[in-house]
């Protein structure tokens, strides 16, 4: 790690080195250079200001306003905003739809996250270990990530179309019966997860590829000289070196999957029989289709609290690792 | 400008700033100049609609005619995608105080909209002055447009869920009348209908009837509610109390639908697009759909026939809804704009013949009585549907594009797909209805 500021505060009776004297090493950046730091602070604040203002206006204020709304019976139609205490939260905890859609969200997260990490790793390893025509692979693995959810949903909707869809037509060609890709309660979530993996795996693939390229070649050379084969190098060098990026990908992926909404809304609108409705769609339905903004805010805050707890739990061990 | 003759960076910035100031100033002045549309000296009237495809093109055409008849008005129509988000946008625009001057709405949504103070009632005298009066509308439709004793919606049409048919296939299957069109008595009664479906399947070599229920909540609900009404089913949807349906009648409806979606009469696992595709490519003889699909079907088969919904059960009934114009509540009311809006809406109603060519039954009766309308086929063949029209149940959460229809369809798909008994759909629907009834009305 670089120089830590923590140890540089002057102990009583000892002056800090004067930065103007040539001391042979760079002066530690400390609070001792008070004036210039304050000046630097000023320009720093200026640089940060636009982002801070935007964050305040479009993130913090709405977030706080949402928190306030969760304690009211605010309606989208603008009528009836009364403070009702924890009534919305009480309703949320006893609402089976909240638990059902929360489970759907978790189920989607499990179904999508595991392949999104594993497949990305395998793809990156294949490309990195020297498949010919690397740029073609890189492009084709990453290209779907550039599509919008509307395009992806449109494409897959035709693929999964019951009765006349491509997949069912191919299955029929093989003498197999049709599958309710998006219409069978037991299948729909798998289909959506598969589409999501195809669509978004490219980003994780790029992260893995970058990490792979960052592993020093000398390590492999040394291992090879010591007689390590390909598998040995994979398990003893590559995978351990990829551990930090895997943790990053895992956390980012979990958060992204928990936020799932658009592809599900466009493909199944939460059906069949609510089997694919994620909690964010329930929030949307409650707030925007049924106009109950107060209750929708309360459900969002319950979900927000769960993600926060999850993120904090995840952060604790990563501090130790650092 | 520098001696080089080019524009220095500073000059450019200065020019840009002055220009931006001018634009801002111009905008501010234009703002002062309302009700005139900026720059044109016209009063602008914005109308939101939810008509895509052919419907949208016709609405544009009608708006064009109205605009030319009223040179002092700039009619701006904006088409938004139909479905739940349309109503969200309308509600948000209204509650934000800057909605369009008028908007199209399904009348079935009125019960959820009008009480929330999002709409303003029509001034009957102002309408009468433009030749729009109560006697020009069917009593049931006029009644449906009322809330709290006032007119909150100006009905544009009735759009029923009907049966289209392919005259060739129907004739070969022996289901045609003397005029070569589908004989409604040949498809009346559940057993008769299924038999007719099998006869058409013999002709096509595939299935007889097209009905797509997968991923089409509105289609599921329309089919169920129409048939349930035919079967004499009543309902009680009172907030705070458990929902009540005639469970026997509802179960019979699902038994019929399961028998229909058997892979022979109708395909087992079909969605709306596939159903239309099969019908238009002559692979089925009959198709259940909304009359708004008429232009699309006529594009594929100019001879396509259409009738009101066959009498599968005993009570004549045909599911329908109605597009109507409403006046979203303005944050800052503007009498000049309001007056212009009335003229635009009255003009649009009187262009109903154009609207009828899309398949809709005009609500403004003088149009229906015109000889030109009476010559429109197959429109006149299904016009009787309006007489037995049943609308959505009255509750704040029901209606076109509502979450209610989605949940009802969710509850019935397993049964329709043959994975659950008929009764299951009814039980699930009741439990979903109970959930809606237990929620407070947000309006």
pLDDT in tens, A118-140: 999 999 998 887 778 888 888 89
- Let me know: does B165 contact B332? Beta carbons within 8 Å: no
- Let me know: does B215 contact A183? Beta carbons within 8 Å: yes
pLDDT (0 to 100) of residue A146: 94
Helix (H) or strand (E) holding A318: helix A293-321
pLDDT digit string, tens, across residues B333-384: 899 999 999 999 999 999 989 998 888 888 998 988 889 888 888 988 998 8
User: Residue range A17-37: average pLDDT?
Assistant: 51
pLDDT digit string, tens, across residues B259-281: 999 999 999 888 888 899 999 99
pLDDT at A319 over 70: no
User: Residue range B212-232: average pLDDT?
Assistant: 93
Name the band, by pLDDT with cuts 50, 70 and 90, for residue B228: very high
A65 touches chain B (CB under 8 A): no
- Let me know: does B70 contact B48? Beta carbons within 8 Å: no
B90 touches chain A (CB under 8 A): no
pLDDT digit string, tens, across residues B115-149: 777 899 999 999 999 999 999 998 878 888 998 89
A77 contacts B413? CB cut-off 8 A: no
pLDDT above 70 coverage of chain B, percent: 91
Domain B161-319+391-438 has CATH 3.40.190.10: yes
More confident residue, A289 or B306: B306
B217 contacts A269? CB cut-off 8 A: yes
A79 contacts B397? CB cut-off 8 A: no
B85 contacts A162? CB cut-off 8 A: no
Q: How many CB pairs under 8 A join A and B?
A: 104
pLDDT (0 to 100) of residue A19: 44
**Ranges of each domain in chain B:** 43-159+322-378, 161-319+391-438
Name the band, by pLDDT with cuts 50, 70 and 90, for residue A35: low
pLDDT digit string, tens, across residues B79-122: 998 888 888 888 888 888 889 999 999 998 887 777 777 899 99
pLDDT at B22 over 50: no
**Which chain B residues contact residue A273 at CB under 8 A?**
410-411, 413-414, 428
What chain A residue is nearest to B429 in terms of C-alpha separation? A273
- Across the interface, of A77, A180, A288, the residue whose CB is closest to B117 is A77
pLDDT at B404 over 70: yes
**DSSP per-residue string spanning B270-297:** -BHHHHHHHHHTTS-SEEEEEGGGHHHH
Cα distance between residue B57 and residue B236, in whole Å: 40
pLDDT (0 to 100) of residue A29: 52
**Which chain A residues contact residue B409 at CB under 8 A?**
271
pLDDT (0 to 100) of residue B92: 86
- Across the interface, of A75, A79, A274, the residue whose CB is closest to B410 is A274
Asked if B43-159+322-378 and B161-319+391-438 have one fold, the answer is: yes
Cα distance between residue B174 and residue B190, in whole Å: 17
Specify which residues B210 forms β-bridges with: B287
A28 touches chain B (CB under 8 A): no
Cα distance between residue B399 and residue B320, in whole Å: 11
pLDDT (0 to 100) of residue A25: 52
pLDDT digit string, tens, across residues A167-191: 988 998 898 888 888 888 889 999 9
Compute CA distances B191 → A80, B201, B261, B265, whole Å. Answer: 52, 15, 14, 12
A178 touches chain B (CB under 8 A): yes
Cα distance between residue B368 and residue B376, in whole Å: 10
pLDDT at B200 over 90: yes
Q: Give the distance between the most distant pair of CA atoms in chain A.
A: 89
DSSP A286: I
pLDDT (0 to 100) of residue A11: 41
B409 touches chain A (CB under 8 A): yes
- Cα dihedral across residues B18, B22, B27, B31: positive or negative: positive
| Residue B33 CB-half CA count within 13 A | 15
**DSSP per-residue string spanning B138-205:** -HHHHHHTEETTEE--EE-EEEEEEEEE-HHHHHHTT-B-TTSSB-GGGG-SHHHHHHHHHHHHHHHS
pLDDT at B32 over 50: no
Quote the tokens at residue A29. Answer: 């950046």
A75 contacts B116? CB cut-off 8 A: yes
pLDDT (0 to 100) of residue B139: 82
Domains of chain A in sequence order: 91-321 (1.10.3720.10)
* Angle formed by the axes of helices A149-160 and A166-173, nearest 10°: 30
- Let me know: does B166 contact B282? Beta carbons within 8 Å: yes
Cα distance between residue A41 and residue A184, in whole Å: 59
Cβ neighbors of A223 (< 8 A, separation 6 or more) are: A232, A233, A236, A237
pLDDT digit string, tens, across residues B65-76: 999 999 999 999
B87 contacts A163? CB cut-off 8 A: no
pLDDT at B38 over 70: no
Name the band, by pLDDT with cuts 50, 70 and 90, for residue B215: confident
Counting Cβ atoms within 10 Å, is residue A72 exposed (0-12), middle (13-18) or buried (19+)?
A: buried
Which of B210, B190, B221 lies closest to B393 in space, CA to CA? B221
**DSSP per-residue string spanning B36-49:** EETTTTEEEEEEEE
pLDDT (0 to 100) of residue B33: 35
Quote the tokens at residue B34. Answer: 């309302």
pLDDT (0 to 100) of residue A12: 44
Quote the tokens at residue B110. Answer: 């009125």
pLDDT (0 to 100) of residue A187: 92
pLDDT at B13 over 60: no
pLDDT above 70 coverage of chain A, percent: 85
Measured in degrees and rounded to the nearest 5, phi and psi for residue A314 equal -70, -35
Cα distance between residue B107 and residue B94, in whole Å: 17
**Which chain A residues contact residue B278 at CB under 8 A?**
164
B152 CA to centre of own chain: 17
pLDDT (0 to 100) of residue B96: 83
- Across the interface, of A162, A269, A271, the residue whose CB is closest to B270 is A162
Mean pLDDT of chain A: 84
Cα distance between residue A252 and residue B264, in whole Å: 49
DSSP-derived 3-state class of residue B328: strand
A288 contacts B85? CB cut-off 8 A: yes
Q: Assign residue A270 a region: left if phi > 0, alpha if psi is -120 to 50, beta otherwise?
A: left
Cα distance between residue B395 and residue B403, in whole Å: 12
Name the band, by pLDDT with cuts 50, 70 and 90, for residue B166: very high
pLDDT digit string, tens, across residues A235-293: 999 999 999 999 999 988 998 999 999 999 999 888 788 899 999 999 999 998 888 89
More confident residue, B290 or B10: B290
**Which chain A residues contact residue B439 at CB under 8 A?**
290, 292
Cα distance between residue A31 and residue B5, in whole Å: 52
Angle formed at CA B355 by CA B351 and CA B360, multiple of 5 degrees: 135
Cα distance between residue A79 and residue A81, in whole Å: 6
Quote the tokens at residue A241. Answer: 């070196």
A269 contacts B439? CB cut-off 8 A: no
pLDDT digit string, tens, across residues B233-249: 999 999 889 999 999 99
Q: pTM score, two decimals? A: 0.79
Look up tokens 């700033």; give the residue: B17
**Which chain A residues contact residue B413 at CB under 8 A?**
183, 271-273
Cα distance between residue B273 and residue B84, in whole Å: 20
B98 touches chain A (CB under 8 A): no
B271 contacts A271? CB cut-off 8 A: no
> Complex ipTM, two decimals?
0.75
Mean pLDDT of chain B: 87
Listed range (A165-179, B247-261, B421-435) with the worst mean pLDDT = A165-179
pLDDT digit string, tens, across residues A204-239: 999 999 999 999 989 999 999 999 888 899 999 999
Cβ neighbors of B101 (< 8 A, separation 6 or more) are: B45, B46, B47, B327, B328, B330, B337, B338, B340, B341, B344
More confident residue, A86 or B37: A86
CATH topology of domain B43-159+322-378: D-Maltodextrin-Binding Protein; domain 2 (3.40.190)
Name the band, by pLDDT with cuts 50, 70 and 90, for residue B25: very low
Neighbours of B6 (CB within 10 A): 9
DSSP A10: P
Listed range (A74-83, B99-108, B187-196, B282-291) with the worst mean pLDDT = A74-83
Which of B395, B400, B415, B401 lies closest to B245 in space, CA to CA? B395
A269 touches chain B (CB under 8 A): yes
């Amino acid at each position: 790690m670089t120089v830590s500021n923590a140890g540089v505060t002057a102990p009583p009776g000892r002056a800090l080195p004067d930065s103007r004297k040539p001391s042979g090493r760079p002066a530690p950046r400390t609070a001792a250079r008070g004036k210039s730091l304050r000046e630097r602070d000023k320009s720093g604040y200026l640089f940060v200001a636009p982002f801070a203002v935007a964050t305040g206006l479009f993130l913090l204020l709405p977030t706080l306003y949402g928190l306030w709304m969760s304690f009211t019976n605010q309606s989208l139609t603008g009528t009836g905003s009364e403070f009702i205490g924890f009534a919305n939260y009480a309703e949320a905890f006893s609402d089976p739809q909240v638990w059902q859609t929360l489970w759907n969200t978790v189920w989607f997260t499990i179904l999508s996250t595991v392949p999104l990490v594993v497949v990305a790793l395998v793809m990156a390893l294949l490309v990195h270990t020297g498949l010919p025509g690397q740029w073609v692979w890189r492009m084709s693995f990453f290209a779907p990530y550039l599509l919008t959810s509307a395009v992806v949903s449109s494409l897959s909707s035709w693929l999964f179309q019951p009765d006349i869809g491509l997949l069912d037509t191919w299955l029929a060609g093989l003498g197999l019966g049709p599958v309710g890709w998006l219409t069978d309660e037991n299948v729909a979530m798998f289909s959506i997860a598969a589409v999501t993996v195809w669509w978004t795996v490219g980003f994780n693939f790029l992260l893995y590829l970058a990490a792979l390229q960052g592993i020093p070649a000398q390590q492999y050379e040394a291992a090879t000289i010591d007689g390590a084969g390909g598998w040995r190098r994979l398990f003893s060098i590559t995978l351990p070196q990829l551990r930090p990026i895997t943790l990053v990908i895992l956390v980012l992926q979990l958060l992204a999957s928990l936020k799932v909404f658009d592809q599900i809304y466009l493909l199944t609108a939460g059906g069949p029989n609510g089997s694919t409705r994620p909690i964010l769609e329930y929030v949307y339905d409650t707030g925007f289709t049924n106009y109950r903004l107060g209750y929708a805010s309360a459900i969002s805050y319950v979900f927000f609290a769960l993600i926060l707890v999850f993120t904090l739990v995840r952060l604790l061990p990563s501090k130790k690792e650092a | 400008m520098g001696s080089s003759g080019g524009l220095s960076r500073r000059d450019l910035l200065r020019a840009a700033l002055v220009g931006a100031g001018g634009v801002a100033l111009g905008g501010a002045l234009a703002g002062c100049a309302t009700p005139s549309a900026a720059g044109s000296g016209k009063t602008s009237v914005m109308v939101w609609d939810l008509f895509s495809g052919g419907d949208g093109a016709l609405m544009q055409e009608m708006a064009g005619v109205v605009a030319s008849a009223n040179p002092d008005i700039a009619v701006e129509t904006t088409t938004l995608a139909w479905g739940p988000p349309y109503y969200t946008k309308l509600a948000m625009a209204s509650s934000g105080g800057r909605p369009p001057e008028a908007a199209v709405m399904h009348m079935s949504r009125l019960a959820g909209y009008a009480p929330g103070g999002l709409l303003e009632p029509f001034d009957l005298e102002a309408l009468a002055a433009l030749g729009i009066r109560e006697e020009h509308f069917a009593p049931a439709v006029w009644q449906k447009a009322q809330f709290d004793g006032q007119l909150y919606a100006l009905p544009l049409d009735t759009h029923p869920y009907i049966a289209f048919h392919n005259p060739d296939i129907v004739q070969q299957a022996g289901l045609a009348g003397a005029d070569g069109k589908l004989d409604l008595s040949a498809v009346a009664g559940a057993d008769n209908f299924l038999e007719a479906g099998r006869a058409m399947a013999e002709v096509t070599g595939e299935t007889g009837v097209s009905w797509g229920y997968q991923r089409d909540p509105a289609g599921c609900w329309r089919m169920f509610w129409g048939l349930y009404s035919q079967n004499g089913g009543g309902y009680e949807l009172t907030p705070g109390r458990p929902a009540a349906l005639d469970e026997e009648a509802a179960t019979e409806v699902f038994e019929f639908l399961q028998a229909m979606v058997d892979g022979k009469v109708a395909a087992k696992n079909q969605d709306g697009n596939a159903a239309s595709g099969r019908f238009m490519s002559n692979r089925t003889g009959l198709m259940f759909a909304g009359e708004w699909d008429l232009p699309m079907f006529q594009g594929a088969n100019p001879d396509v026939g259409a009738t009101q919904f066959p009498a599968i059960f005993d009570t004549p009934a045909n599911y329908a809804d109605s597009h109507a114009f409403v006046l979203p509540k303005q944050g800052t009311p503007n009498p000049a704009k309001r007056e212009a809006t009335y003229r635009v809406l009255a003009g649009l109603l009187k262009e109903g013949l154009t609207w009828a060519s899309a398949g809709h039954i005009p609500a403004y009766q003088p149009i229906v009585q015109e000889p030109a309308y009476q010559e429109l086929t197959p429109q006149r063949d299904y016009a009787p549907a309006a007489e037995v029209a049943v609308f959505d149940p009255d509750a704040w959460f029901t209606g076109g594009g509502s979450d209610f229809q989605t949940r009802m369809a969710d509850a019935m798909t397993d049964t329709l797909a043959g994975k659950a008994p008929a009764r299951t759909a009814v039980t699930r629907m009741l439990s979903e209805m109970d959930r809606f009834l237990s929620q407070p009305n947000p309006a």
